[in-house]
Amino acid sequence: MLSIAADVRNTLGECPLWCERTRRLYWTDIKASELLALEEGTGAVMRWSLPECLGSFALTEQSNVLLMGLASRLALYDLNSGLLIPVAPSPGDTGTRIGDGRCDRAGNFVFGTMDDRYRLARRTGQCFDVPGDGDELLIQLNRITADLQQVARNLVIQRQPHGYTVSLNIHRNLNLRA
């Protein structure tokens, strides 16, 4: 039987991510520019207000620091101090923001950009790969060549041995070669 884990009434709650070290379930309310976490055992919900929309994020080697895919940039965010350290501007085209993303087993952060004005039939979405180079803060963005046929909302990215599989909300899969 399903039950509500946290009755928080998000505007656009996405990107759930479990952290074994902190025993917390993290997620983002994209439109509210918030990161949220549900603490196992206590059921306490924590909230962090951010300066812009948070499309996706990844855990790092430090349990209190997350790599964040904010609307205009990638940044490291210290959950304890609230310190936001810019890492790189968004590689997407003008008018786009960083959207869904995930970390693969090798520590690479793979994410997409999207245009929130999705009703416009423009080809603006792109897919990127940030190499996981340990503690190195200088991150080079490797663009994965892709011509998305329409702007994707609810983009799901999975890294496969042969490249990437990108699933769009239109139920069409594109296989991309890195």
pLDDT tens sequence across 30-54: 999 999 999 998 999 999 999 999 9
Asked whether the predicted pLDDT for residue 152 surpasses 50, the reply is: no
Percent of the chain having pLDDT more than 70? 65
Q: How far is CA 25 from the centre of its chain?
A: 15
Asked whether the predicted pLDDT for residue 21 surpasses 90, the reply is: yes
DSSP assigned state of 151: P
For residue 175, the model assigns a pLDDT of 39
Task: State the fold for domain 54-176.
Answer: Neuraminidase (2.120.10)
Identity at 149, one-letter amino acid code:
Q
Cβ contact 96:128 at 8 Å: no
Query: Any idea what the Cα angle at residue 76 is, between residues 26 and 138, rounded to 5°?
Result: 140
- pLDDT single digits (tens) 53-95: 999 999 988 899 999 999 999 899 999 999 999 988 888 777 7
More confident position, 111 or 23: 23
Distances (CA, A) of 72 to 87, 88, 170: 11, 9, 26
The CA distance from 168 to 85, in Å, is 31
Of 5-9, 33-37, 85-89, 120-124, which has the strongest mean pLDDT? 33-37
